[in-house]
Each structure stands twice: as C-alpha cells, then as structure tokens.
Amino acid sequence: MLYFISLFCSPLGLLLAGRPFQAVLNGLVWFASLVGLFFMVVPGVLLWAIGVAHAFAVINARAADRRADQLARTLRQR
C-alpha cells in the first residue's frame, strides 16, 4: 500500500512509513518536479522518477529492517 501511495505522492508515502526527515527531503524534490512539469516536461518527469525511486528504496529498506528485527527476536528466543 505504501508503494502505491508513493507512486503518486512520494513524500506522503515516506511520512506514513515513519521517515519524516526523508519525507521533507523528498518533498523538496517532489515540489521541484511539479514545477518542472509545469514549465519543462522532461526535467519534471525525471525529478518525479527520482523521488519515487527514493521513496521505494526507503520503504523497501524499512521492510528489510523489520524482517531483520523479527529474525533477531526469533533467534534470541531460542
């Protein structure tokens, strides 16, 4: 679900993922992409793609961290 949200509004996806600092940085890129889409289409699309890729990478790292924490908890119990 976070990936779908990040596809359209990457800062919101990062904020919902619990990464507020990353969301602010991504928001700057996202805002620049909107301005770029209004004035020059190609740079706007490139900035949008960079923002979405950044959001996907952060959300994927969050999921990997959760899997690693779960594995560590399971190993500690044994």
Each residue's pLDDT tens digit, 12-71: 999 999 999 999 999 999 999 988 888 888 888 999 999 999 999 999 999 899 999 999
Please tell me the predicted confidence (pLDDT) of residue 50.
94
**Residues 2, 69, 21, 55: is their CA dihedral positive or negative?**
negative
Tokens of 43: 């740079």
pTM of the complete model: 0.84
3-state secondary structure of 1: coil
* Domain extents in the chain: 2-77
Please tell me the predicted confidence (pLDDT) of residue 37.
83
Taking the C-alpha atoms of residue 36 and residue 53, their distance in angstroms, rounded to an integer, is 17
3-state secondary structure of 19: coil
